[in-house]
Amino acid sequence: MASVKNLKKEINYVLGDLVNIVYVWEMTHGGKPTEATDEIVDSIYDKYDELITKINNNSVENKKAYFKEIRKEYEEAANQLVAKINDLN
């Protein structure tokens, strides 16, 4: 398993890139945020906060399984967010 630090960095980079993709979409489709794009950006920030809070939880007994579950949740969330972004068109 990669280090916790690397997992945090990966989550930060990927979810940050998704926010940037939404902002680029807004700029190329009228230049202003819509309710749909605001909802997606809010859900990205909420998921980021949720995942980082889980990672920072120190009262875990089986860390390997715990972080494996967090990685799985993160990958599923990222895929769902990408699907929402793709549905903007």
C-alpha 37/C-alpha 19 separation (Å) is: 9
| Residues of the chain above pLDDT 70, percent | 98
C-alpha 51/C-alpha 57 separation (Å) is: 10
Q: Give the mean pLDDT of the chain.
A: 93
Residue 37, pLDDT above cutoff 70: yes
C-alpha 28/C-alpha 75 separation (Å) is: 27
Q: What mean pLDDT comes out for the span 64-80?
A: 94
At 2 the pLDDT is 62
C-alpha 36/C-alpha 41 separation (Å) is: 9
Residue 77, pLDDT above cutoff 80: yes
pTM for the predicted model, two decimal places: 0.88
